[in-house]
Amino acid sequence: MKIGFIGLGIMGKPMAIHLVNAGYSVSVYNRSQAAVTELVRLGAVPFGSSKEVAEVSDVIITMLPDSPEVEEVVLGPSGVLEGISAGKIVIDMSSISPSTSQMIAARLTERGAYFLDAPVSGGEIGAIEAKLAIMVGGPESVFDRVKPILDKMGTSITRVGEVGAGNTVKLINQMIVAMNIAALSEAMAFGVKAGVAPATVYEAIRGGLAGSRVMETKTNGIASETFKPGFRMELHVKDLRNAVAAGMELEANVKFTREVLTIFEQLAEQGYSKEDHSAFYRFYK
């Protein structure tokens, strides 16, 4: 099975490398040439447009920042849609609006192609270590065909429903993570003012109900107030904006998400958008 990979950023590049290393024939396209050069050295084949990648691939994977970029790459000039043909599969692994996924799926279906929305969780480390959690929306028969490919990039691959469900579950994930980071930040800042170090708090409570993956991975950064990005704040802002927009469409109450988003946006405006999302702690400092 020939794979096309479009979008070789902080997440996409290591994901594509895993597919090359697994022995797949991988064609790549990316606006920045440095990542393309690295993939070519490993055995990938470069192309000059998304259309060209779609023409030579059975499965086309996109990994892009947000809904507008996915629309442009798939539906825009020299995009995937122009090179697609019946029976081919597009897997969008970006984190975008569920309604955008459904719209793109409808356009591809008109050409006899298939679409899965398959956003990921795990950050840069998860991508590098091929330990991503992948949430997939789309037809079960199509999911079964591409699961061996997804297995090369993640350790938890779950079909969660039809097209759009993947990004819905990703938004749920991002809402929970954001609120967990907010709670951790507020509580640790409270502890510091009371004279208890974050590392001490972590050792004392990590085995109880308050323990979490967020606490495990973010406490050191909070304790040292160093926020090297594993997942940039600006990306979490994007996801929370999508969550709030989806909430409005569904008439769902997303009050806490709105409040956390407001603080994230304030910090981003203050110049912290490129830092790890655990820099939320700065709000309390």
Per DSSP bridges, beta strands 132-137 and 120-121 are antiparallel
94 and 73 Cβ atoms separated by less than 8 Å:
no
Q: What is the DSSP letter of 278?
A: G
Based on the residue annotation, tell me whether 131 is a catalytic residue of this protein: no
Q: Kindly name the residue from 13, 51, 170, 238 that is annotated as catalytic.
A: 170
Residues 6+ apart with CB under 8 A from 142: 89, 114, 116
Distance CA 22, CA 155 (A): 15
DSSP alpha helices (H): ranges in the chain?
A: 12-21, 33-42, 50-56, 67-75, 80-83, 98-109, 123-128, 140-151, 165-193, 198-205, 213-224, 233-250, 255-267
Q: Which residues are catalytic?
A: 170
